[in-house]
Amino acid sequence: MTVKPRKPAEAAIPSNDDIGEDVRLGLYRTQMIIREAEQRAYDLFLQNLVKGTSHLSLGQEAIAAGFAMAMKPGDLSFCTYRGHAHTLARGVEPEKVLGELMGRDNGLMRGKGGSMHLTSVEHGVMGSYAIIGAHLPIAAGAAWRAKYRGDSDVSVCFFGDGTTNIGAFHEAINLAVIWKLPVVFVCENNLYMEYTPISEVTAVAQPAADRASAYGLERILIDGNDADVVYRTASQAYAKARAGEGPSLIECLTYRHSGHSRADPAKYRPEGELEDWKKRDPILVYRDRLAQFGVTSEKIASIDDEVRDIVDKATDACKAAPPTSTDILFTDVYADGGWAWRN
């Protein structure tokens, strides 16, 4: 069955402009950085310059941009293996991300982590996690630290729709509610787990939003392809968390334009589904939004040109960078910086 994109009730745009041009331009630029960098990662994979596989967020850029733009310095992001978008949205340079994917010494972790383990404590990116659901309890733990110490930061945990059927999802949310932790759980529902539609293996229509009431939480279902809607929803959830009122569970409806990973041609999708969702491409949606609020086509084009230039220069720098040095092969395995086993 083809699932057509729709705009939930929460996606309505208010007549007054509560966001402002500066934030909107930032939201658009961030989405473009993600789109161009990930498209370049796709191209580099086809050139055999990205080893292994990679999981792209093409089509899902508005979620990363909206949540990141609403964050404050010190807030923490916890990502899945599809974490390039969130890492870039927190301000990590494309060169660092592409270098890491290419296994180059100029990468974010000098090429040791690769596509599925991006981390930048400096930017509040507390890791991408390859194990489904593993990071939800970790995000709750980080939020417990903030509450215990009286810190003001909020932990934001992104995960896919398939995670909602894993025990860690329910355990983390349950404890977060009981302890009123400053954590926001964000389900990026792109309709598919790996190759299976989430609707075929889940008892409720909305895998996250329809389960919120079981934990005493508000049902929040939003259009994940509209960066304004995402930004507003994120801002409200962060304010709630900082006020000591506990967690939020937000389900963002979206769609990935490519397969689960670079090894997946996505032939399981019904004919016409991708084309329908591309009409709600978050980049196209936001270009129209900027025009609606009076931003000129020349201004939009200048951002596009600037971003493409950044990604082009990042690509050249990564191609010229040396591979990861073998000198660091056995470093940073344990917290003391070494690798020697002890018990």
The DSSP annotation for 241-287 comes to HHTT---EEEEEE---SS-SSTT---TTSPTTHHHHHHTT-HHHHHH
The number of folded domains in the chain is: 1
What is the average per-residue pLDDT within 276-295? 96
Centre a 10 Å sphere on the Cβ of residue 327 and count the other Cβ atoms it contains.
7
Residues 6+ apart with CB under 8 A from 198: 161, 162, 164, 189, 191, 192, 207
Domain annotation covers residue 1: no
Is residue 333, in this structure, part of any structural domain at all?
no
Tell me if residue 236 falls in helix, strand or coil. Answer: helix
190 falls within a domain: yes
Residue 217 has pLDDT above 80, yes or no: yes
Q: What is the CATH number of the domain that holds 117?
A: 3.40.50.970
pLDDT tens-digit readout, 10-62: 444 444 578 999 999 999 999 999 999 999 999 999 999 998 888 999 999 99
* pLDDT of 126 higher than 90: yes
Q: What is the pLDDT of residue 14?
A: 45
Mean pLDDT of the chain: 93
Q: State the average pLDDT over residues 181-198.
A: 96
The rounded percent of the chain whose pLDDT value lies above 70 is 95
Confidence of residue 7 (pLDDT cuts 50, 70, 90): low
Angle, nearest 10°, between helix axes 61-70 and 282-292? 50
Residue 233 reports pLDDT greater than 70: yes
Per-residue pLDDT at 266: 86
Residue-wise DSSP of 81-94: SS-HHHHHHTT--H
Cβ density class 120-157: b for 16+ within 10 Å, e for less: beebbbbbbbeebbbbbbbbbebbbebbeeeeebbbbb
22 Rama class: left (phi>0) / alpha (psi -120 to 50) / beta? alpha
User: How confident is the model at residue 261, as a pLDDT?
Assistant: 87
Residue 141 is predicted with a pLDDT of 98
Summarised one tens digit per residue, pLDDT across range 71-93 is: 999 999 999 999 999 999 999 99
pTM here is: 0.93
Asked whether residue 326 is assigned to any structural domain, the reply reads: no
The domain containing residue 61 runs over which residues?
19-318
Residue 112 pLDDT greater than 60, yes or no: yes
pLDDT at 263 over 90: no
Q: Is residue 329 part of a domain?
A: no
Q: Give the DSSP letter of residue 14.
A: P
Place 106 in a pLDDT band, splitting at 50, 70 and 90: very high
Residue 122 has a pLDDT of 97
* Residue 175: how many other CB atoms lie within 10 Å: 19
Does 9 reside within a domain? no
Measured between alpha carbons, how far is 241 from 237 in angstroms, rounded to an integer?
6
Mean pLDDT within 107-123: 94
pLDDT at 267 over 80: yes
Residue 134: band (very low, low, confident or very high) from pLDDT cuts 50, 70, 90: very high
307-317 per-position pLDDT tens digit: 999 999 999 99
Domain-located, residue 337: no
Q: Give the pLDDT confidence of 136-155 residue by residue, as tens digits.
A: 999 999 999 999 999 999 99
In a domain, 7, yes or no: no
Residue 164 binned pLDDT confidence (cut-offs 50, 70, 90): very high
